[in-house]
Structure 1
Amino acid sequence: MARFLIIAGSSAIGQATKSLLNQAGHETFVTARTEDRITPDAILDASDFDAVDALFQTHGPFDGVVNCAGSLLLKSAHQTSKAQFDAVISASLTTAFATVRAAGRHMNSGGSVVLVSSAAARLGLPNHEAIAAAKAGIIGLVLSAAASYAANNLRINAIAPGLVETPLTKGLLASDAARRVSESMHPLGRVGTPQDAARAIVFLLDPDNAWITGQVLGVDGGLGVVRPKMKV
């Protein structure tokens, strides 16, 4: 049995990850920013470097950690305020950096860190400027941190989901027409589920897959790399 930390475990992907890990017999320690949706093991502002570091020190050791924190802002750059941009960067990139920083300080026996990027960081989608910038930063962080910590057997990877159906994305799928458009963007013809993302996270956390680091696994129905034949 391994012990895993799930940051932002109140998210749909976080809850699905916890469920899969628990079903496999592993122990999970879950944080959330508030208790609105779940009763977490700890309340944590994951953008606070000192708070994340203290959590690792107090509640560790952990065999692996996943950071599911993030936000959603769909606006073009000229419509985005500095406050909105700062909030997106804080929710996604700052929390990811704080997680890697604490893991590097405290996971001295190695293990696995999994971050959540986005398909939007690897292809151009309109009105995704802020979120694409934050999630692309996570990809750069993964590559550099994987190099820094490989000698310590600390693996750093990420998943890059396409559109996943969660409470956060509910508004994007509110109508049948909107759902059809979203589904058509993904070559496999559907949007993702939290379980799709969670299965990939669990794969990267698994010690049996300990020869994988510095990778960004697309879990996106082919959105990031595939252009299917046009239907005529």
Structure 2
Amino acid sequence: MALSGASYLVLGAAGGIGAATCRRLREAGANMLLAGRSEANLSPLATELGCEALVVDATQTEAVEAAAQQVLESFGRIDGVVNAVGSLLLKPAHLTTDQEWADTLAANLTTAFAAVRAAAKTMRRPGPAGVSGGSVVLISSAAGRAGFASHEAIAAAKAGVIGLARSAAASYASVGIRVNAVAPGLVRTPLTERIWGTPTAAAASEELHAAGRLGEPDDVAAMIVWLLDPANSWVTGQVIGVDGGLANVRPPTRRR
């Protein structure tokens, strides 16, 4: 991978998928600014990886732009932005409050828009040797591609991420900015533990995935890093399911 010396902003860096992505990037020799809402969660990861960390509320677009600018100032270049910020609300529409709806959109869609806008403002500028551009990776969900009960708010937000990624890919292709999204299935992270946290619940969730298992953060991180790699510069406007088949493949009704 051609990531050595490249510089990235990772929003939601201390979460399950965010941290796995940061570890892969660091192993590849990349520089990073780790951004998140909790200094207590960011600090151990920053110490582990030897990276800068910044407390950022990614729902605030100006704060995300300032973080992207800090990447430029710290490393002299910015090659990509990852938005690994998100939330999970499992309620049908009639039980979802206005505040829950607003919070879900803010955490999942507004943060994605902020990442795209910050990337567009910083990565369109000439970098080393006059080169601009780079890669933006957003996180959608299998719930944004297929219908699941009690997912109305999160499905709407994650479907919005898909539309955002495709439109932004069209807007910024001419300046070398690629925009893609990954759409995970159920991944074992602290955020989703209430779904799979008991053996019975985990087994039921595994049955929904044709691959017969839940995802691990590194499953998704591997695809995110692949999309960041400039070696894959002909890939843009794509939504790639990293979901064990959840969105598109019906598993057998009984495993053997």
TM-score normalised by L of structure 1: 0.97
- Alignment partner, residue 70 of structure 2: 58
Paired residues, number: 232
* Root mean square deviation of aligned Cα: 1.1
Q: Does 1:73 align with 2:89?
A: yes
* 2:67 alignment partner AA: L
Moved over 2 A (4+): 228-232
- Alignment partner, residue 136 of structure 1: 159
Question: Of residues 29, 33, 36 in structure 1, which corresponds to 2:33?
Answer: 29
Question: Of residues 88, 91, 101 in structure 1, which corresponds to 2:107?
Answer: 91
* 1:36 alignment partner AA: A
Identical columns (%): 51
* 2:204 alignment partner AA: V
Deviation at 1:18, TM superposition (A): 0.6
Distance 1:207 1:224 in 2: 28
Question: Of residues 5, 18, 24 in structure 2, which corresponds to 1:14?
Answer: 18
- Alignment partner, residue 135 of structure 2: 112
Cα deviation digits, residues 170-226 of structure 1 (max 9, x gap): 111122111111000000000000000100100000010010000001000001111
Q: Which runs of 5+ in 2 are unaligned?
A: 47-52, 125-131
Question: Of residues 211, 234, 238 in structure 2, which corresponds to 1:188?
Answer: 211
3-state secondary structure, aligned to 2:39: coil
3-state secondary structure, aligned to 1:151: helix
Q: Does 1:43 align with 2:55?
A: yes
Deviation at 1:159, TM superposition (A): 0.2
Question: Of residues 158, 169, 178 in structure 2, which corresponds to 1:146?
Answer: 169
Distance 1:13 1:82 in 2: 28
Deviation at 1:69, TM superposition (A): 0.3
Deviation at 1:35, TM superposition (A): 1.4
3-state secondary structure, aligned to 1:157: strand
Cα deviation digits, residues 18-75 of structure 1 (max 9, x gap): 1011111111111011113221511101111111112222332310110000001100
